[in-house]
Structure 1
Amino acid sequence: MCGIIARVGDGSAIDPLLTGLENLEYRGYDSAGVAVQNGSGIDVQKRSGKVADLKRSIDDVPLEGAVGIGHTRWSTHGPPTDENAHPHTDHVGDIAVVHNGIIENHATLKAELAETGHEFTSETDTEVIPHLIQSFIDDGMDTEPAFRRAIDELEGSYAVAAMRSGEHVLYAARQGSPLVVGIEDDGFFLASDVPAFLEYTDTVVYLEDGDVVIVDGNGIEYTDLAGNQIDRERETVEWDPEQAGKGEYEHFMLKEIHEQPTSIAQAIEGRIDPGRGSIDLEGFEPGTFENVDAVQFVACGTSYHAALYGSTALNQAGISSTALLANEYSVSAPPIDDNTLVVAVTQSGETADTLNALRSADAAGAKTLTVTNVIGSTASRVADETLLIRAGPEIGVAATKTFSSQAVMLVLLANRITADITGEPRTDLRSLLEALNSMPARIETLLERSQAESVARRYGNSQSYFFIGRGLGYSVALEGALKFKEITYEHAEGFASGELKHGPLALVTPDTPLFAVFTGTEDEKTMKNAAEAQTRGSPVIALCPPDHEATEMADEHLEIPETDPALAGLLANVQLQLVSYYAADQLGRPIDKPRNLAKSVTVE
């Protein structure tokens, strides 16, 4: 879950490297470092802390060179210390390496290298890579074959970028961790994600597992590990560089909450026709899913909650569906056959657990589809089909606009699957699509009128926070609790409304605010469950339209506009995102960089 940036070309590499690290800090922010060719060797500057700390530490150190690599870390092996920060070098400082992933056989390699005189200075798995490369150079190999031989020795997941003193060349490879090439007029980038270099170029090449690239200032060579040349297509990223900045907002999270009207409009553009009552998902002709007997969704974290939303929508339509945690899929997957559709939901398309579940489903013969935000991601290459959510770049670690876009796309997908299997669309499809078409405007209105900040202020010092919902509101309750605990560090739990009386009521006190999501389906039962907590002292905050009867019993009301029950939970979710944001802001939390978390989880 670390962030890699590298550049080779004309001019100094240091400014693009530092810019790239700042843009990648959502991938890890416990240490950072850079290495550049300084004309007489490799100059490495690294330290624990954030990229800003690194920049301050090198203000008085002149770093120059047209070739360089950088890294921002999320710790897996060894705590965040100066010694464990990347880049890492071999024992003579001739090779420098940055790495994202986990080298599973690093202990064996380290022991073998130590026996031949190599001395290690960190606790990381990464440090074996430059030592391994140097060991093969010591045996008489040139840099390129030594790099390939070292990569061949590695077991596990990795994206690696390396440089050698005195060479105007970058060497890189990937296996199970993302790596993308950026192409500009006077040079090349390598990075874990496009936002790293988006302000410099929008021309990219997505590398695939097993790729090895050799880059100098004049060109780039794409090969497999054996050295055979391969073709990789250039693509143009349709993201505006300004989308990767905070603009007028104090935090990326608040900016991305306010971008949801745009992201949802982009998600549905050209895909729905409310007048005709039709759904047109590109690449999925009518009848695509007619032989599907069961649908399994696999995902992690926020994407799992979106998957649960889609699965619930399918079950309500009478189609057998299950949402499963991707990290449990290998031990608890339901039976699969060639009439099973497995849908992998992943914002980045690089989530290791979800990719493993996707590969497992593919090996078992299932039809596979991924719902993702990133063109060219690993998930889109592994799955049979891809459905893009078109949310644009999301930098905040706590997912906001991508959750709502995922859920919207899964509602559309659920309706297409239902129509293909049953032969008939839902009877009120035109009404649903009209409500979906109006959703961006309704979110705009909600954002303008929200009282979430005052609610967060009123209950900001509570002991614990409960979130409940029923049906489609249940996944929203889970997501609301996850957002709250992620960025406030306060205890929060989400429950199916009816489960309160089966244990959680024992935890309810006057210091336990309860947020109740009302979707227009079985609201009477949810009100009864909320009242059970209220009679035991819990203040109730109702998320519902202004004329809903829950406003009469609740202690507080966060308004959501009237809409189709299939979408009401997603409007409530926006209010819950705002509550979490303002509660965290009042507590002085680092909202965009919550402790111990990173944006894209590329390790198991």
Structure 2
Amino acid sequence: MCGIIGCIGRGGDTKETLLAGLKNLEYRGYDSAGIAFGGETVTVEKREGELENLRRQLETTEAFDGSLGIGHTRWSTHGPPSDRNSHPHMDEAGRVAVVHNGIIENYQALRDELRVEGVEFTSDTDSEVVPHLIARQLDAGKPPEEAFTAAVERLDGSYALAAVVEGEHAIFTARNDSPLVIGVDGDATFVASDVPAFLEYTRDVVYLENGEYAVLRPGNWTVFDGASPVEKVVKTVEWSPEQTGKSGYDHFMLKEIHEQPTALRQCLRGRVDEFGGRFSVDELDELERPDAVQFVACGTSYHAALYAAELLRDAGVPAQAYLASEYALGPAPITPDTLVVGVTQSGETADTLSALREASVRGARTLALTNVVGSTAARECDHALYIRAGPEIGVAATKTFSSQLVALNVLVERLTAATGVEQTRSLISALRELPEQVQQVLDDSKAADVVDEFGDGNAFFFIGRGLDFPVALEGALKFKEITYEHAEGFAAGELKHGPLALVTENTPVFAVVTGDDERAQKTIGNVKEVESRGAPVIAVTDGQSDVERYADAVLEIPRTTARTAAMLANVQLQLVAYHTAYELDRTIDKPRNLAKSVTVE
């Protein structure tokens, strides 16, 4: 999940361009950072820790600059965070510098082979084999471009690579199962793991496909598939540089929580006809009716998938949500009439891509529900539905989860309409009102007060039933991600089957109770169970079920449909997690051990 940035043609601004790009990529990793300049000589500087450590070091390093360079911010896989494990990595003679995102699966065999040849490694990483392989090809007399491609051919696994070679005014890049995108700005060219790295300079991009490599030279770039040049289409992304700033908020996460009303409007725009009482999804015009739907996803996206699967089952369509990491190794039975939906914010999640590819090989139709136009999932699937949330920089997903839920409602209505289930005007009206209701929750939330009173617990439980259950799971995940406190989400009815043994007076329980149906009343019964054990109860409710009479505190949401009530409850739980982490002085946007786009399995 590391971040890569490279640029050529920026002249004397190269160093600041690389540092700015790395700053914009810190959500992909922040264990260490480094940059290398190419050209007549290759120079490298790298430091453990956050980017500021590298910047301070560069201020004391004389004559460290150049007209082309590559940079890297690391999320550790092989070897702990340290200066020596930081990227870029070099060969022994200092002729080649390489940055890498992904995992080289055959690195140990390559490392053993190179050791036999006399190579002494200076890091614990799998990535270090790459510059040594390139150097061996240079020693054999191959020109730099051929040396690079010959080295890449030796690699098994996932990789996005960028390399510079002494005496060569070029950046060499290659991609396999880890994202790489080229940015084009006149004489300047960029390469990065993600568009925000260079968004302040250009919005014109070219996406590399698996197996392709590219050579960036001053004023031009060429993409190859094997030995043959490939004609690539330059696309313009819609995101603006302003969208990737904090806009005065203390943290990206808080900004993105408050951006949810706008994100939801963007998601719905052009897809909901309130007067006609129907949903219109141009991207899915050619999607035929499935006999069954399987969702594959990870983390937050898996919770969104659980929500959507329940909606489809309620509508009479067989549906199931699977953890993508499990599905890829043992897929469920599928037929040509099965639709497999990959829910992935980035469109680059390695486990989800593997699951989608396995489903495709087995004959299923595939659909990517993602935030990133041109992402790998969007390009590889038969269909793509974009959530249109805009860039999300905070590692803990907030507005993308809410937008996923809305987009999944649109997808469900599209699929169930095809099977003869009537769409309801009440849902359309509720979705139209949702952005304004989210804003109401943001304006009126008492989450900070709840945290002041109950934030010192030694464990935190989140419970719910039906559509509130995935929201409870997501509330617990968000809480543990950024507070580092123990939190668990449960189906409310499961408390008495084990978890109740953990409940004490120091275990605040957040109970999501919406509506006043049988599920709500049964959840109130579960609230009474924990109340009788002395646990404080915080009810997240629309006030229809009277659960507040049994609660120690209440987080209110507006009254609406069951589908959208769950989404509103989610916003309250996001705020609970944020305010708790803020009080604990956590690094909210960059939680320890985590990264935004999980591109390794």
Fold agreement, TM-score > 0.5: yes
Do structure 1's residue 434 and structure 2's residue 423 form an aligned pair?
A: no
Q: Distance in 1 between matches of 2:465 and 2:66?
A: 59
Q: Percent identity?
A: 56
Matches within 5 A, 1:273-292: 273-285=273-285, 288-290=287-289, 292=290
What secondary structure does 2:25 align onto? helix
Q: Distance in 1 between matches of 2:531 and 2:168?
A: 69
Do structure 1's residue 466 and structure 2's residue 497 form an aligned pair?
A: no
Partner of 1:31: 32
Do structure 1's residue 456 and structure 2's residue 451 form an aligned pair?
A: yes
Q: Distance in 1 between matches of 2:449 and 2:233?
A: 51
Partner of 1:247: 247
In the TM superposition, residue 547 of structure 1 has moved relative to its aligned partner by 5.5
- What amino acid does structure 2 have at the position aligned with 1:166? G
Matches within 5 A, 1:8-47: 8-12=8-12, 13-37=14-38, 40-47=40-47
Matches within 5 A, 1:420-569: 420-421=418-419, 423-426=420-423, 429-520=424-515, 521=517, 522-546=519-543, 548-569=545-566
Q: After TM superposition, where is structure 1 displaced by more than 4 Å over at least 4 residues in a row?
A: none
Partner of 1:301: 299
Worse-matched range after superposition: 454-463 or 251-260: 454-463
Q: Distance in 2 between matches of 1:270 and 1:318?
A: 27
In the TM superposition, residue 570 of structure 1 has moved relative to its aligned partner by 0.6
What secondary structure does 1:552 align onto? helix
Q: Distance in 2 between matches of 1:547 and 1:572?
A: 14
Q: Is the 8 A contact 2:34 2:88 kept in 1?
A: yes
Q: Distance in 1 between matches of 2:399 and 2:520?
A: 26
- TM-score when scaled to structure 1? 0.97
Matches within 5 A, 1:262-411: 262-285=262-285, 288-290=287-289, 292-411=290-409
Q: Is the 8 A contact 2:98 2:131 kept in 1?
A: yes
What secondary structure does 1:298 align onto? strand
Q: Distance in 2 between matches of 1:89 and 1:381?
A: 34
What secondary structure does 1:361 align onto? helix
What secondary structure does 2:328 align onto? helix
Partner of 1:59: 59
Partner of 2:217: 216
Worse-matched range after superposition: 351-360 or 159-168: 159-168
Do structure 1's residue 578 and structure 2's residue 579 form an aligned pair?
A: no
What secondary structure does 2:408 align onto? helix
Q: Distance in 2 between matches of 1:46 and 1:10?
A: 21
- What amino acid does structure 1 have at the position aligned with 2:205? V
Partner of 1:90: 91
What secondary structure does 1:58 align onto? helix
Q: Distance in 2 between matches of 1:579 and 1:260?
A: 16
Q: Distance in 2 between matches of 1:133 and 1:602?
A: 24
What secondary structure does 2:27 align onto? helix
In the TM superposition, residue 316 of structure 1 has moved relative to its aligned partner by 1.3
- What amino acid does structure 2 have at the position aligned with 1:280? S
Q: Is the 8 A contact 2:144 2:168 kept in 1?
A: no
Partner of 1:122: 123
Q: Is the 8 A contact 2:287 2:383 kept in 1?
A: no
Matches within 5 A, 1:93-242: 93-224=94-225, 226-242=226-242
Q: Distance in 1 between matches of 2:511 and 2:412?
A: 25
In the TM superposition, residue 550 of structure 1 has moved relative to its aligned partner by 1.2
In the TM superposition, residue 26 of structure 1 has moved relative to its aligned partner by 0.5
Q: Distance in 2 between matches of 1:415 and 1:504?
A: 36
- TM-score when scaled to structure 2? 0.98
Give CA-to-partner distance per residue, 1:27-64, whole Å, 9 cap, x none: 00000000113x65111110100001110111121322
Q: Distance in 1 between matches of 2:544 and 2:327?
A: 43
Q: Distance in 2 between matches of 1:332 and 1:311?
A: 19
What secondary structure does 1:283 align onto? helix
Aligned residues: 597
- What amino acid does structure 2 have at the position aligned with 1:582? H
- What amino acid does structure 2 have at the position aligned with 1:174? R
- What amino acid does structure 1 have at the position aligned with 2:540? L
In the TM superposition, residue 502 of structure 1 has moved relative to its aligned partner by 1.1
Q: Is the 8 A contact 2:11 2:68 kept in 1?
A: no
- What amino acid does structure 2 have at the position aligned with 1:309? Y
Q: Is the 8 A contact 1:223 1:230 kept in 2?
A: yes
In the TM superposition, residue 531 of structure 1 has moved relative to its aligned partner by 1.1
Worse-matched range after superposition: 553-562 or 329-338: 329-338
Q: Distance in 1 between matches of 2:391 and 2:305?
A: 20
In the TM superposition, residue 425 of structure 1 has moved relative to its aligned partner by 1.6
Q: Distance in 2 between matches of 1:510 and 1:28?
A: 38
Q: Is the 8 A contact 2:186 2:219 kept in 1?
A: no
Q: Is the 8 A contact 2:28 2:74 kept in 1?
A: yes
Give CA-to-partner distance per residue, 1:469-528, whole Å, 9 cap, x none: 111000000000000001101110101111111111111111111111123242111111
Q: Distance in 2 between matches of 1:103 and 1:486?
A: 28
Q: Distance in 1 between matches of 2:175 and 2:40?
A: 29
Q: Distance in 2 between matches of 1:469 and 1:548?
A: 13
Q: Is the 8 A contact 1:519 1:566 kept in 2?
A: no
Q: Distance in 1 between matches of 2:186 and 2:513?
A: 54
